[in-house]
Every structure is written in structure tokens, then in C-alpha cells.
A and B are shown apart, each in its own frame.
Chain A
Amino acid sequence: MTRNTLNRRRFLAATAAAGTSCLAAPLYAQSRELVIISDRGNPDQRAALTDIANAFGREAGVRVSLNNMDHEAHKTAIRNYLVASPPDINFWFSGERMRGFVKRGLFSDITDLVEKNGWADVVPAMSATTVDGRIYGLPTAGLVWGLWYRKDVFDSNGWTPPRTAEDFLSFGQNAREAGMTPIAIGTKEMWPAAGWFDHMNLRINGLDHHRALMEGRIAYTDGSLTRVTDRWAEQVKAGMFLRNETSYGWEQAAAILAQKKAAMMDLAGFIIYGFPEADRAQLRLAPFPTYDTGIGRYEDFSVDSIHIPSGAKNPEVARDFLTYFYQPDRLWEYLKPDGNLPARTDIDVSSDPIMVESRKGLVGVDGTSQYFDRDTDPDVAQAGLKGFQEFMVRPERASDILAGIERARARAYGPL
């Protein structure tokens, strides 16, 4: 059957070659194929990716088909397509989200490719795509999370970014007196509340505790978490956050920051989507305030990555594509419109003020986690996202909420 179609294709190619000799070369070559599935929401970034894929197709003589999916829809579709009809290249997240697929043998081991190119030396984030010493994907960019603010607003009010928990509350007081909401947050899509939890837990209980919690080794009913919810409830009661935050998506919250109605916002470099072009130069990033001086500076640094599914039909072409795509200048072309920090440290980002801010945000960091819903089991993540959204509205329900997340944890990881 295969031989038959091959013969027919060859026959067709030969006939075409005889007819139009100038087209012959590409026609022969185009029996090589590459299927890519991406999940990029930013149209400029999609265009950049299309350009790179087309250029690769021309140079390598490969017929490339690039399918972009809606970012949210892709999160569910991937489970289906990795099993049923795997592409040659797909975009995904590293960390626990990747590990789940690696455990089921759905991603190819590309350790040799990484070693051959010496990428590990220039990509510190490679640890995020490594499972048991083997590498299963290439990190493309990292999202540096922290508190963004407008420089002009801070200058005109004579504010400096809060450094400690006490500073933070008094800064909130000042912002409110100036008629502004201290922290813009929109929890309609729930994850921003979980990101806030990450910050609080990393500052109060530290990275080891946070990792253990994400891996299901600490119960959510543990006393250590009450310390987090108590301090967080303090912030809610002090009016630090935007009111009716469940009505707003993050874009609307970012718009409130851009309109100078709020003072700060917890987000990563993609905040630029929510900001008018002219105001972007005002954006500055400050690390989350310290809660316990005995605990190092740990931050969320979520790494996006690109993978070869183990069921890829053209793994060799896929490897060629990764090599082509991962060159510093091409990776930069792809990342420039997005605002997230390149995973390769040998890329010069100094022309982009937002990336410069992000890179500064990584200086002095003692260790990183990814993000709540990337670090833990999806079932627990879902329960946690919903629980923290509820907590920000009804902090008095803290113990019920934590008990609810604990039920999901016990289901996913078993009793402790």
C-alpha cells in the first residue's frame, strides 16, 4: 500500500519534472513534511512563527503545515492529539504540565540534540524540561512574575515600590489616599488569584515547602498554610485589591493600571498586551515584598517550551526544525512581539524595555517555581484556582476552602 502510493507520487513527480523542469526540485523535495501545532494568542507572534516556518520549509525543501489553536482550547486538545494524531512539533508548558505527558511516554527524548548543540550552557531554564536527567523539550521563553507599576505615577506621588510586608500595607494606604486602588487584579479567569497565593507561600514558607505542597506532600489543611491565608486576609481586609475583581479578566485589570486608577499589578511581561503602545515605556517591575527576612527570594518563573511528540511521523525533520528555530536570531524574531524573556541567555534583549525589566526581575533570585497550575496535578490546580478566587472574596471561609483543596489533593496524591 505504502509502496504503491510512493510509486504514484514518484511517477507524478517525474511527470511534473519532465513538464516543468524548474519546479522539479521542490516537488521532489516536498515529499518531506512537517506538521506543527502551536497555541499562540498574539497575532504578531503568530505571524513571526509563520515566517520562520515558511523560511524553514523553503530552505530545507519541506512542506510545512502550521496549525495554530486557541490558547485555552489547546490545553484540552493536546491530550487528544498527542495520542490520536500527533504532529511533528508542538508548543506546550514545561514543569508538571510536561511531566504528565513524559510519564506516559508521549514526548520524545531530545537529550542528544541538546548535547550536540551545546544548548544546555546557554539555557539555564533547561532544568524545567528535564525529567530524571533526560531532556524532553526546548524552553522558548520564561515569564517573570512580579508587581508592575507605572514609573510616572510613582514619581509624581513620590512612591517607591514596597519592600516589606509593613511597607506594603502602608503603601496601600497611600495609594487609597491618592484615590487609587493599590493592586489591580482580575480573577474572572481565576489564575491570577493562584499566582498571588504562589507569591505569598514562597515568601512565607519558602521554596522547599512550596515544592512539597505542589507535589502533594503537604496537606492543604496544614498549619503552615493558615499563616499564608491570615496574612492574605489582612491584605483583603485592608482594601488592597480591586473591588468586584471576579467581574474582570486580566486585560481589564491591566487597563485599570494603564489608566492610572490602580497603582500596581501582579503579572508577567505579557502585560504589554493590556497596555497602549505609548504607555509601555512607563512600565517597571518590582519584586513581591518580603514577608520573612529569613527566607530567600523565590519567584514564579514559568517556562514555555516546544516539543517533539513521540508519535511524530517525521522526527528527523522535526529535529532539523528545532535546530533551525532555536538559533538566537530566529528565537528572538519569534519572541520579540510577545514580551516574555528568551530562555537563551545569549540573546541581546536590551532593545526592548519590557524584557530589560523582566531580566532585572530575575537578578538576585534564589530559586524558582513555575506557576500554581503548571506545578501541580490538574485536578488539584482546578480546585485551587477556584478556592483562591473564592478566598479573595470571602476570606472568612479560609478553612472550608483549604479543606476543599485538600480533598482534591488527597484524591490526586493519596492520603498522607
Chain B
Amino acid sequence: MLRTRRSLRHRATPALLLAPGLLLFLVVIVFSALRTFWISLHAWDGFGPMTWVGLSNYAELWGDPQFWVSLRNNVIWLAVFLLAPPMGLAIALLVNQKIRTMRLAKSLFFMPLVLSTVTVGVIFVWFYDPSYGLLALLFHAFGASPPAVLSSDTWVTFAVVFAALWPQVAFCMILFLAGLNTLDEEIIGAGRVDNARGWQMLRHIVLPQLRQVAFIALAISMIGALRSFDIIAVMTSGGPFGSSTNLAYQMYQESLFSYRFGYGAALATVLFAIMMVFIVWYLLRLLRDERSA
């Protein structure tokens, strides 16, 4: 009797400890995701009655030119954000040198991470300003007329991603710096004994030990690229005429400005499906590493 109770308690403890988190996860994430999918099958203005329309929101997405622009922009975000981990690594290697002023350099590189995205966006809007911005001054210095990058439907997305890349690189740098601090001194020592130096040391001794960190940096950059929203809102509001809108921003506009919550939910579902690919990949890697460890 006593034993069964004890074993019950033994088994119940982890379940009880997991329960609050699990409950929150079910309500906030799983329920919301399912509900979003349910809404995407309806036409709904946000507070009137919901009308069942089946998959027609998705069919409309297919024929909506803005959807393809948003999708293209998400691909640009993903591609440019691929640069964040290698750039972060390069800077981490640079500031990891034992030189006196490096501490200052390190904190300068770290700075964008403390700034809120809104601040970063505002700073870059000033930077790009075609009449008074730093970029304009640079162009004037060379006698050229500055481009209005935020007004150009070709360049605007790149201009916004570039601004967002700044804190992202800093974030990757921090990850790699932490990774560099946990390097196994013995392996490095062994490498030194075998006369490994410079590039060889980096390629064969340091990088293999940073694989785990690199993987996390890459996965987080990808997911960050997909959920980017705030900096677009601050810098361009998705404009000019929707050229810098991505799926997340289009979802916000359709739902809250055009009052088309069903259509917005369909966009959210598509975005979720794309993100799922990266999340599943990330989780599978994580599980595999945990099992092999």
C-alpha cells in the first residue's frame, strides 16, 4: 500500500512539474494554431458572424500578386540572414583575441543587441534618408546623387534586411564567443603539438568544436528571418506599395486594416507551414544529438 503510493508519487512528480508548462503550451500555442487554421476556412471581419468558405481563402492567395511579393521577400530575408552566422563567427574570432582594446570593440559589436528593434529601425531610416542621411552624405562626398532606397521597390527589402542583419550578427557573435570559451584546451594543445597553426587550427580544431553552436545560430537566424515584422512596420510599413511586405506583415495588414481575419489566418497558416520545416529540422537535430550524447 505504502509502496504503491510512493511509486505513484514518484511517477506523478515529473507529470505535475511538467503540467503548468504543458498547459500553457497547449492553450497559447497548440490551441491558437488550430484555431487560426479554423478561422482561415472562414470569411470573418473580426466581430461579425463567421461564414464558412472552405479553402477559398487559400485559392485567393494563389491569385493574389501581393502574396507572391511577400513570399519572395521572405525568401530574400532567409537568404540574407544566412550571412549572419559566418559574419558573427568572423567577428567573434576577431574580438576573441587577447588584445587590450578588444573589450571596447566587443561591447561596440554587442551594442545593437541591447537596442530594441524599433530603435534599430529608426536609426536606419535616418541613415537611408535621401536628403539628410549618412548614406546621402556619403554619396554626395563622391559627387553622386543618393538613391532613395526605402522608396525603391527593387531595393527596399534589401535595405530593411540589412538593418535587421545588424543585431542578428551581434547575436550570432555572442553565441560564437560563448562557444569559443568552452573550447577544449587539451585538443588545442594537442593540435599545437602536431604543429597546427592559423587556418589549419581553425579548420580542423576550432570549427568542429563549434558545430553545435553554429547549428543553433543558423536555426535561430532562419526562424528570426521568418518572423521578422516589427522592423518592417517601423521602417516602411510594408511599402512602397507593398514591396517590402512579408507574410507576417501582410497577415497583420489584411487582418487589422482590411478587417479580413479569415484571409489573414490563411496567410498565418502558410507562414506556419514554412516555419514548421525549420522547426522540425531543428528539433530532429536536437533530439539526435541528445540521443547520441
Contacts and interface: CB of A to CB of B under 8 A. Distances in A.
Contact of A379 (B48, B150, B153, B259): B259
Contact of B259 (A83, A188, A247, A378): A378
Interface of A: 76, 79-80, 83, 104, 187-190, 243-247, 378-379, 382-383, 386-387, 389-390, 393, 404, 408
B25 interface: no
Contact of B241 (A79, A243, A390): A390
A76 B258 CA distance: 10
B19 to A, nearest CB: 30
A247 B242 CA distance: 13
Contacts of B237: 188-190
Interface string B225-258: 0000000000001011110000000000100111
A76 B47 CA distance: 12
Interface in B133-157: 148, 150-151, 153
B3 to A, nearest CB: 50
Contacts of A408: 258
17 contacts: A76-B256, A79-B259, A80-B47, A104-B48, A189-B237, A190-B239, A244-B151, A246-B151, A247-B129, A378-B258, A378-B259, A382-B257, A386-B239, A390-B240, A390-B241, A393-B151, A393-B241
Contacts of B242: 386, 390
Nearest to A408: B258
Given A247-B150, A378-B258, A382-B257, A404 B65 contact: yes
A389 B241 CA distance: 6
Given A243-B148, A378-B259, A393-B151, 11 more contacts: A79-B259, A104-B47, A188-B239, A246-B241, A382-B253, A386-B241, A389-B240, A390-B240, A393-B240, A404-B65, A408-B258
Nearest to A190: B239
Contacts of B189: none
Contacts of B42: none
Interface of B: 46-48, 65, 129-130, 148, 150-151, 153, 237, 239-242, 253, 256-260
Given A79-B47, A83-B47, A244-B130, A389 B259 contact: no
B243 to A, nearest CB: 9
B57 to A, nearest CB: 11
B241 A387 contact: yes
B159 to A, nearest CB: 11
* 7 tightest Cβ-Cβ pairs between the two chains A and B: A390-B241, A244-B148, A246-B240, A379-B258, A244-B151, A382-B258, A246-B151
B65 A247 contact: no
Contacts of B46: 79
A308 B141 CA distance: 59
A352 B241 CA distance: 38
A187 B130 CA distance: 15
A65 B237 CA distance: 33
Select the residue from B48, B65, B241 with max chain A CB neighbours within 10 A: B241
A389 B239 contact: yes
A379 B242 CA distance: 15
Contacts of A387: 241
Nearest to A82: B47
A387 B241 CA distance: 7
B257 A247 contact: no
Contacts of A188: 237, 239
A390 B148 CA distance: 15
A190 B253 CA distance: 13
